[in-house]
Every structure is written in structure tokens, then in C-alpha cells.
Amino acid sequence: MNTLTSELSIFTGNANRQLAIEICDHLGISLGEADVFQFSNENIFVKINENVRGNDVFVIQSFSSPVNRSIMELLIMIDALKRASAACVTAVIPYYAYGRTDKKDQPRVPITARLVADCITVAGAHRVVTLDMHAGQIQGFFNIPVDELTAQTIQAEYFAQKQIEDLTVVSADEGFAKKARKLADRLNVPLAIIEKRRLGNEGITEAMGIIGNVAGRNALIVDDEIDTAGSITQAVRVVREQGARDIYCSATHGIFSGPAIERLRAAPLKELVITNSIPPPDINRLPNLTALSVAGLFAGAISRIHDGRSVSELFF
């Protein structure tokens, strides 16, 4: 299938329309017209309102709240575009939900991340583009190409410009240490790691201690996502107890479910930095919040995929 001569089209569901508009602005094209809404019986209706026959189509849809509706919107849109004879359909998923259920870590539990991957493939997607998945092995759940982008270059540039003295990057847990190391190397600063354990299935974590030195230094705590903010606020507590001065926090995905906003407002954070992979909350709810845009990153990836160029060149 040759998409190099196909017309580029971009559509979006309701999960993060503003990000889709920003991506189109970067690419200099208009967002495709489509009706995507839910009937009173909770059935989702999709109608593509323009010709896409033979086009190279990208559907932008984060799996943000309401998560299951966002997933269904994407699946139905892919099906609609396939039935409208699009030449190629790429699912652009800035935030991939269910990423934590990537393995059987208890008896009789599902691998939902794989199930969602299967649904996307069966719906008819030819390719997936996503951002900072919770677990790298999820790429292997797809039988179609997956391009996983990272916001780390944007985050590194932002904090480098701030020129924070005596900075230490702190990984929120051991599982994120490898990615945190890459950010520390980009900023040319040392790394520390929070030791933690997860208690049960309720999203409760316990920070046990810290590997590395933050005493008398400024700390940048990093993770891939902030959900209920339990892990991050525990990390802030440990870092503060170890003598850190100003504490910053950076994560790609700001989910902010349940008590997250209240926990973060109470935490002694100088600044909290996320991206707009998920629509950020009202700044009045979190006055120290900064949301970096990933629109240029996704626009670059879409342009390269459409032109048949390397996506990895975005990160060098």
C-alpha cells in the first residue's frame, strides 16, 4: 500500500480536541469534519462528513476520561474510515490507558493492555502512534507497527532553560529509573531513585527510602504519569525528609483522578510540569502547574510517517 501519494487527513474524537487542532495548525491543514456523539442509550454514533477515499488518515484520540467511551469512539471511527475506503488509518493515541495491566501479576486477572491492542488492530488500524507508554512491552502486543514517542526531549529542554542549580533528577520508583537516567544524562545532573512498594489494587503505594543524595540540592521528581498522585506525594515526602531544597515534579500524563488535585495542592512543590497529552485541569485548581504542548512532536511524527521518513530522527 503506497500512502506517499495519498492525501493526508486528520480526524479526532472528543477526548482531546484541542490537541488535535494544535497538531493540524503545526501541519498547516484543517481538522477533518466528523460527527462523534453519544445517544441517550449510551451508544456512540460516528459519521465522517468528508471524502476520505484513498487518503492517508490519522485519528487522534487520547484514552482520557471517560476512558471506556474514548476507546470506543476510536474503534468506531477507525471502522467508519475503513468502510469509507481510506487507504491507511493510523491511530494516534497520546495517552494509552490500561497500560498498567500489561501482565498477569495475580491469579485470574486479565491482560487488558493486550485486549485493547487487539481491539484496535481488529477495528482496522494499520499503525499506532503513542507517547510514553507505562510499559514498553505493550508495543509487542500489536501485530501492526507502533511508534512510541517520548516527551523527554521537550521536558529536558524546558528544565535546561530554567538553569536550576544543584539539581538532582529523582525517579519516582525503580521501574522508571532507566528513563529517569536518560533525562538526567540530557540535563547532565546526578540521579536518585525512590524505593517504593505497591499495596493491593487500590493504587496505594508506600515510599521506603531513597537511593542517592538529595541533601541540600534541588530535586526534580519524574514519572510517566500522575494518577491519584499517591506515588508522587510519597516521593515528595521522602525527598523533603532527606533534605532537598526546592522540589519540582515532571510527568508526561496528568490523569489527576480521585484525590490527586487535593494531594498535589498540599504537597510542597515549587512547580508541577505535565504535557497536554490529556486535557490539563484549570490552572486555578493547581496554580503551580505548567502544561507543555506535545502538538509539535506529534505533528513531526505524522509528517514523517506520511512522507515515509524516519520517526526516530525526532529525538536526535
Over its length of 316 residues, how does the chain's per-residue pLDDT go in tens digits?
445 668 999 999 999 999 999 999 999 999 999 999 999 999 999 999 999 999 999 999 999 999 999 999 999 999 999 999 999 999 999 999 999 999 998 999 999 999 999 999 999 999 999 999 998 889 999 999 999 999 999 999 999 999 999 999 999 988 899 999 999 999 999 999 998 766 555 555 566 689 999 999 999 999 999 999 988 999 999 999 999 999 999 999 999 999 999 999 999 999 999 999 999 998 888 999 999 999 999 999 999 999 999 998 887 6
148 is in an annotated binding site: no
Q: Please report whether residue 2 resides in a domain.
A: no
C-alpha angle 110-81-2 in degrees, rounded to nearest 5: 100
Q: Please report whether residue 162 resides in a domain.
A: yes
223 is in an annotated binding site: yes
Q: Please report whether residue 3 resides in a domain.
A: no
Known catalytic residues are 196
Q: What is the pLDDT of residue 282?
A: 87
Q: Please report whether residue 287 resides in a domain.
A: yes
41 is in an annotated binding site: yes
Same domain membership, residue 276 and residue 226: yes
Same domain membership, residue 305 and residue 233: no
Same domain membership, residue 138 and residue 156: no
Integer Cα distance of 236 and 259 in angstroms = 16
Q: Please report whether residue 1 resides in a domain.
A: no
Q: What is the pLDDT of residue 202?
A: 56
C-alpha cell at 13: 474524537
Residue type, 97: A
Same domain membership, residue 40 and residue 73: yes
53 is in an annotated binding site: no
215 is in an annotated binding site: no
CA distances to 216, 237, 307 from 231, in Å: 22, 10, 41
Same domain membership, residue 97 and residue 65: yes
Same domain membership, residue 197 and residue 112: no
Q: What is the pLDDT of residue 208?
A: 66
Q: How many domains does the chain have?
A: 2
Q: What is the pLDDT of residue 1?
A: 46
Q: What is the pLDDT of residue 27?
A: 98
173 is in an annotated binding site: yes
**Are 255 and 278 in contact, with CB atoms under 8 Å apart?**
yes
Same domain membership, residue 159 and residue 122: no
Range of the domain at 165: 152-292
Same domain membership, residue 177 and residue 129: no
- The CATH number given to whatever domain includes residue 86 is 3.40.50.2020
